[in-house]
């Protein structure tokens, strides 16, 4: 795929527009959108203008909002207005979030009044809310409508969803409401089409129905769509009146964004919020530098512990050899536990109130891991050094693994309870904390097992 983008860049650099047109015609809209996202805004604009109008709109919808904003800034105003007006309201709202305030205001004012009112309504919801993500004013059916009447209504309304490749999904599952637009349930189009003639809509509704409030978190709505295998999830107000639907394609984008955010924070960096190749070097450095400063300061804990047990290290120098191995083992064990719990929290498999159950499981897991690793390393150390050292290191591994798993399992739950992203307490934070506490465990155990040797060395 990267070679495609490089080839497209070469054609644009050579100003071979005929070859660019052929390149674009030979590839799907999805591939074109992906490759446009790898080149500069000016080059995007040149290639985009070579696309036929209908295909250009399809390609534009497949672009990420960041790349959409970049492309619009490079296009002429009349072209920008036309493209922006063709988007669905939820996509318009996402795009406006990426644009400078003045540009966003100009784009919004360029819409017809009815369209501007709908998009402005979405912008009135919190940034990460379900209301911001929904496709508003969905087609609704009434329970007393027949199969034939409902299909005729859907056919007449289908043109509303012809603006892009994604929003026909909003017709695959249709809301059923009473006269006051209070949600009664959702009906899959397949059930309606295959129903016998004369069947009433109300007879086709499932007993189990799902919905979310417009102010619920987007991730919660997306997880519900994933777990319940829904094509569309209705969004309702406080009185259960239908406001819109969230489609599965938008839910997938939300989940992808959440996974990306967790991956950055688990690696000790702030989320980038823009594609890697379009981010400046300074942006990348700032996103990573903040966490590195925090981790460096936290590492002073480890230094202070080493200084506190300096006498022990001087008495039994061989102990210092195993410090990197022990803190590395503890950090890795804690990170594994943290990653497992962060993932379990993300998919709602555990909740903060399950902290005691998590501790119980992690104690057993950590102990088993420690016993296994200690048993493996004991004969090696006993042969290379002497039994006291082997026993000290092996017992320390058992204790550190157990402790690290507890820390890695509990910290994400505490973070969730405090309203902090659990991924923040993943690999970097857990590793740094376990490093310091692991050394305390190590030198404490060594002080007991090797007490006679330490006294002899220190003259105590």
* pLDDT tens sequence across 67-108: 777 777 777 655 666 677 777 777 777 777 766 666 666 666
Domain 6-123 has CATH 3.40.1190.20: no
Domain ranges of the chain: 6-123, 134-254, 279-456
Residue 70: per-residue pLDDT: 77
C-alpha to C-alpha distance for 328 and 286, rounded to whole angstroms:
27
Helix (H, G, I), strand (E, B) or coil at 236: strand
Residue from 242, 181, 180 nearest 211 by CA: 242
Residue 458: per-residue pLDDT: 59
pTM: 0.63
Domain 279-456: state its class. Answer: mainly alpha
**Is the confidence at residue 322, as pLDDT, over 90?**
no
Q: Where are the alpha helices (DSSP H) in 204-279?
A: 218-227, 248-266
C-alpha to C-alpha distance for 269 and 289, rounded to whole angstroms:
8
How sure is the predictor about 402, in pLDDT bands with cuts at 50, 70 and 90?
Answer: very high
Task: Identify the CATH homologous superfamily for domain 134-254.
Answer: CBS-domain (3.10.580.10)
C-alpha to C-alpha distance for 104 and 459, rounded to whole angstroms:
76
Residue 40: per-residue pLDDT: 75
Query: Residue 9 corresponds to which tokens in the numbers above?
Result: 């860049």
Average pLDDT of the residues of the chain? 80
How sure is the predictor about 406, in pLDDT bands with cuts at 50, 70 and 90?
Answer: very high
Question: Would you say 97 and 129 are in contact if contact means Cβ atoms under 8 Å apart?
Answer: no
């Amino acid at each position: 795929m990267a070679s495609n983008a490089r080839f497209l860049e070469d054609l644009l650099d050579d100003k071979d527009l005929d070859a660019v047109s052929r390149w674009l015609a030979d590839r799907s809209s999805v591939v074109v959108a992906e490759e446009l996202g790898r080149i500069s805004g000016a080059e995007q604009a040149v290639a985009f203008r070579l696309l036929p109008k209908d295909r250009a709109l399809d390609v534009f919808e497949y672009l990420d909002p960041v790349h959409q904003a970049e492309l619009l800034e490079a296009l002429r105003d009349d072209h920008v207005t036309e493209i922006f007006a063709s988007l669905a309201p939820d996509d318009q709202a996402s795009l406006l979030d990426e644009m400078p305030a003045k540009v966003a205001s100009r784009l919004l004012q360029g819409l017809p009044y009815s369209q501007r009112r709908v998009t402005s309504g979405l912008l009135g919801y919190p940034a990460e809310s379900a209301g911001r993500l929904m496709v508003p004013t969905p087609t609704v059916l009434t329970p007393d409508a027949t199969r034939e009447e409902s299909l005729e209504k859907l056919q007449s309304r289908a043109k509303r969803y012809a603006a892009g490749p994604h929003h026909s999904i909003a017709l695959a599952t249709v809301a059923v409401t009473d006269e006051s637009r209070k949600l009664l349930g959702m009906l899959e189009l397949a059930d309606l089409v295959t129903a016998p003639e004369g069947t009433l809509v109300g007879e086709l509704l499932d007993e189990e129905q799902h919905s979310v409030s417009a102010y619920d978190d987007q991730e919660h709505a997306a997880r519900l769509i994933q777990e319940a295998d829904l094509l569309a999830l209705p969004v309702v107000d406080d009185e259960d009146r239908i406001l819109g639907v969230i489609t599965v394609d938008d839910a997938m984008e939300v989940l992808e964004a959440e996974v990306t955010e967790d991956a950055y924070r688990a690696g000790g960096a702030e989320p980038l919020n823009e594609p890697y190749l379009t981010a400046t070097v300074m942006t990348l450095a700032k996103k990573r530098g903040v966490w590195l400063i925090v981790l460096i300061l936290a590492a002073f804990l480890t230094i202070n512990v080493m200084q506190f047990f300096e006498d022990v290290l001087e008495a039994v120098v061989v102990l210092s050899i195993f410090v990197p191995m022990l803190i590395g083992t503890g950090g890795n064990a804690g990170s594994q536990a943290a990653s497992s719990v962060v993932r379990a929290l993300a998919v709602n498999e555990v909740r903060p109130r399950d902290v005691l159950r998590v501790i119980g499981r992690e104690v057993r897991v950590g102990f088993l891991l420690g016993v296994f690793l200690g048993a493996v390393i004991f004969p090696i150390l006993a042969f290379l050094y002497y039994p006291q050292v082997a026993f000290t290191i092996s017992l320390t591994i058992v204790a550190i693994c157990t402790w690290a798993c507890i820390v890695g399992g509990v910290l994400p739950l505490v973070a969730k309870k405090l309203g902090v992203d659990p991924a923040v307490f993943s690999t970097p934070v857990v590793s740094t904390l376990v490093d310091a506490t692991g050394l305390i465990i190590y030198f404490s155990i060594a002080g007991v097992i090797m007490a006679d040797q330490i006294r002899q060395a220190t003259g105590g």
